[in-house]
Structure 1
Amino acid sequence: MQMPPVRSFASSDRFLAEIASPALRPGYVLAGDELFLYERCRRGVLQTLVPDNLRDFCLHDLDLAETSIFEALDQAQTPSLMAPFQVFFFRNLKVLYTRGAKKDEFAAIDAYFRSPNPQALLIFVADHLRLPADLRKMDMQDKDRFERIRETLGDLCGVVELARVDEQDAVRWVTATCDEQNTKCDPDAARELVDALGADMMLVASELEKLLLYVSAPREQAGVEHAEARITLGDVETLVLAAKQRSLYELTDAISLHDRAAALGLLHGLLNASDGGEDSAIGHLYMLARTFRQMLIIAEKNVRDSRAIWQVLWQGFRMPPFAADDLIRQARRYKSRRELSRALRLIARADLELRNSPPDKRLVLERLVLELATEPRANVHGVETSQFALEI
């Protein structure tokens, strides 16, 4: 079954169609840092133009930060004695747009394309650009850089836009890929996979591969080895770490809103989706403690923009990019540092209780979530207390 057209893949689809037709141009610019689409284009070039037995002779990866454009063009102009056709990937194109006008370099490029080697294909990789799914929302700096590339190379080469993949298109790709593998993917599972990974297509493709292997494994013990393979929301929440994290941030969101019913429901969802059931309680508690520590730092540093998070949270203690804005919003719901410190004390107490082998770990977590989601009240001495505080 052939995958239906996906709008976000349109530019790369046209490129792949051209390289397999007489319309092949002598050069192209792959503009954008969407690695998934870049790998898709590169793979198509190798399959179409680079025979496996001649790869060492006809494929050249050159870094313009290490090889001058004059030397690179000279290699491209020289026919190979060992291969009938050559493909050149020129990385670090940004070198041509820094430190000076580079008039001689662009004059050499112009001269090459006036009389190109018909047995060579040149591909310039402009992965220093970030192209959003909606090009109208492109950063001004990237927009200026893209315009300079169009002005200097646009008339000489085909320009292939490797923009970020739209979330809806990513979901369609997941569903279509599963169909190709004779596997059904539930719509809510496809949506959760894409949302949890922030529509990062390299991650989506990697996690989908694991899911496909997981659901298509033999199920002889269950007696359903011939049943249609199917990816469900539960499979995504079980196997994809980011989906678990996403559910956790939904839990802390309900807690910060003091929505006890929603928080309790989300906790049950986390526990039911966990591999270890009740035994995963310590892991959930650790993630809660980590998230509230992150919120405490965000509140103390008065962080209001996701870009500032990377300055106040150190490497190894940062949340996934998709959760940054949510966590800032949640932290700002707490009126003082004292409220967040109280939450950490409650978590520490629950941790101690869990490590003392209580009869029901789920009950410990339920009580903790109810306490966290209950707005603290001040007693007659002005000290914060909680409706669900344990009797000590």
Structure 2
Amino acid sequence: MAASPTRWGAGFSSTERFLAEVASAAGNPGSLRPGYIFAGDETFLYERCRRAILQAFVPAEMRDFCLSDFDLAEVSIFEALDRAQTPSLMAPFQVIFMRNLKTLYTRGAKKEEFAAIDGYFRSPNPQALLVFVADHIRISADPKRMDMQDKDRYERIRETLGDWCGLVELARVEEADATRWLTTESERHQVRFDTDAARELVDALGADMMLIASEFEKLLLYAGERRRITLGDVETMVLAAKQRSLYELTDAISAKDKHRALLLLQGLLNASDGGEDSAIGHLYMLARTFRQMLVILEKNVRDSRAIWQALWQGFRMPPFAAEDLIRQARRYKSRHELTRAIRLIARADLELRSSPPDKRLVLERLVLELASEPRVASPIEGSTQYPMQL
């Protein structure tokens, strides 16, 4: 009897359908829709879809002639559509990615822009594929928990472009799907991934698929000829090496030891495969740890036995870190101090995603701020009013 197909949740189901479409159209790109919208900020799923398109329609030796990446914050939609409408003399098929789709929905009605889009799709170039990237939208794994603002943005895009373009939802991945992905990928590599090990990896990394995929590659190499990944392997390769360093960093921050905190940050960055490009991953883990400390402080957790009741499944730290995190959380005297830290991390996250010239400098400045005593704001600084209102 044939195995039943994998039933994915929202995070994977839409992209799996799109990947199937691309695979079936590999020899006949004209069978695809003339345009697609990648809606959502799940980078792992976006990379899967983009990679599938490139493998099917963009030969490596022709990439300079048939692949275009436009940023609509820098290039007008008219120029991008003109590129799509003009047949390439060097390549039989063109793929055009357009980032920053949000610029079409801000600052004015953009009637001329949407008229141009409507005109193009009424008579599209059959030798071109347009991909609009709407990564300013966050799609929750559970549609019922999607933010109202994101829902409005999603609906506006669907109403204006949905008639012409296929919609691919890059939704956040549920923990069950992340665990299932690990199992599926392990089978593909003919490696056994123990269930408790897969769950521990997903739990430790918060179902962040980019981090999970990166650590999975390391675990495959570590397993080697054993062809099996165990819970001990996960603790040795992922938790012990990465998270112990992270908790040492938060220990220095909570102790207000700036010098040690900066040294530990440098060690984390130097040990990361991506160097300073791994900054987003470190920032995510910092935010998660401070949120855990906030819950510990609010629920007055005093020992590791109570911590498993205070922190829910999927939001727990590895067992070796429980006592350390309780001790660190108790160094903060109020909820305000921890929420301040979370706000500083959120600000640094926004700065990192804005492509700063030096990501390492952003993290160093954040660590210095986190390890400093909060200064008392003046009435002017603490006001939420604009200067003209004051």
Provide TM-score, normalisation by structure 1: 0.65
2:170 is aligned with 1:162: yes
The aligned amino acid for 1:233 is L
CA-based RMSD of the aligned residues comes to: 3.8
Q: Identity of counterpart residues, as a percentage?
A: 57
The aligned amino acid for 1:65 is A
Conservation of the 8 A alpha-carbon contact between 1:27 and 1:156:
yes
Alignment partner of 2:221 out of 199, 208, 213: 213
Conservation of the 8 A alpha-carbon contact between 2:100 and 2:134:
yes
| Equivalent in the alignment of 1:131 | 139
Cα distance in 2 for residues equivalent to 1:65 and 1:261? 51
| Equivalent in the alignment of 2:8 | 6
Displacement after TM superposition at 1:260 (Å): 7.3
The worse-fitting range, judged by mean Cα deviation, of 237-246 and 94-103 is 237-246
After superposition, give the CA deviation of every residue in 1:297-356 in whole Å (9 maximum; x if it has no partner).
36263657996574899823799xxxxxxxxxxxxxxxxxxxxxxxxxxxxxxxxxxxxx
SS at match of 1:165: coil
Cα distance in 1 for residues equivalent to 2:336 and 2:306? 29
SS at match of 1:121: strand
| Equivalent in the alignment of 2:54 | 46
Conservation of the 8 A alpha-carbon contact between 2:303 and 2:326:
no
Change (3 A) 1:311 1:261: closer
Cα distance in 1 for residues equivalent to 2:304 and 2:152? 49
Cα distance in 2 for residues equivalent to 1:25 and 1:312? 39
Conservation of the 8 A alpha-carbon contact between 1:85 and 1:119:
yes
| Equivalent in the alignment of 2:236 | 238
After superposition, give the CA deviation of every residue in 1:201-240 in whole Å (9 maximum; x if it has no partner).
0000001111111111xxxxxxxx5xx4211111111111
| Equivalent in the alignment of 1:18 | 21
SS at match of 1:18: helix
Cα distance in 2 for residues equivalent to 1:71 and 1:35? 26
Conservation of the 8 A alpha-carbon contact between 2:296 and 2:326:
no
| Equivalent in the alignment of 1:174 | 182
Conservation of the 8 A alpha-carbon contact between 1:90 and 1:124:
yes
Displacement after TM superposition at 1:6 (Å): 2.7
Cα distance in 1 for residues equivalent to 2:109 and 2:333? 43
Alignment partner of 1:122 out of 105, 125, 130: 130
Map 1:185-204 to 2 at 5 A: 185-204=193-212
Cα distance in 2 for residues equivalent to 1:167 and 1:269? 19
Displacement after TM superposition at 1:261 (Å): 7.4
Cα distance in 2 for residues equivalent to 1:295 and 1:101? 52
The aligned amino acid for 1:6 is W
Change (3 A) 1:60 1:172: same
Change (3 A) 1:46 1:5: farther
Cα distance in 1 for residues equivalent to 2:296 and 2:73? 46
The aligned amino acid for 1:45 is I
| Equivalent in the alignment of 1:275 | none
Cα distance in 2 for residues equivalent to 1:301 and 1:132? 28
Change (3 A) 1:183 1:243: farther
Change (3 A) 1:138 1:317: farther
Cα distance in 1 for residues equivalent to 2:82 and 2:12? 33
Displacement after TM superposition at 1:42 (Å): 0.3
| Equivalent in the alignment of 1:141 | 149
| Equivalent in the alignment of 2:39 | 31
Displacement after TM superposition at 1:104 (Å): 0.5
2:333 is aligned with 1:315: no
Conservation of the 8 A alpha-carbon contact between 1:58 and 1:87:
yes
Displacement after TM superposition at 1:14 (Å): 1.3
Map 1:241-256 to 2 at 5 A: 241=239, 244=244
From the CA coordinates, give the structure whose radius of gyration is larger: 1
Cα distance in 1 for residues equivalent to 2:63 and 2:145? 39
Displacement after TM superposition at 1:159 (Å): 0.6
Map 1:323-334 to 2 at 5 A: none
- Structure 1: which 5+ runs fail to align? 217-224, 271-283, 320-392
Change (3 A) 1:261 1:64: closer
Displacement after TM superposition at 1:129 (Å): 0.6
| Equivalent in the alignment of 2:106 | 98
Conservation of the 8 A alpha-carbon contact between 1:3 and 1:177:
no
Provide TM-score, normalisation by structure 2: 0.66
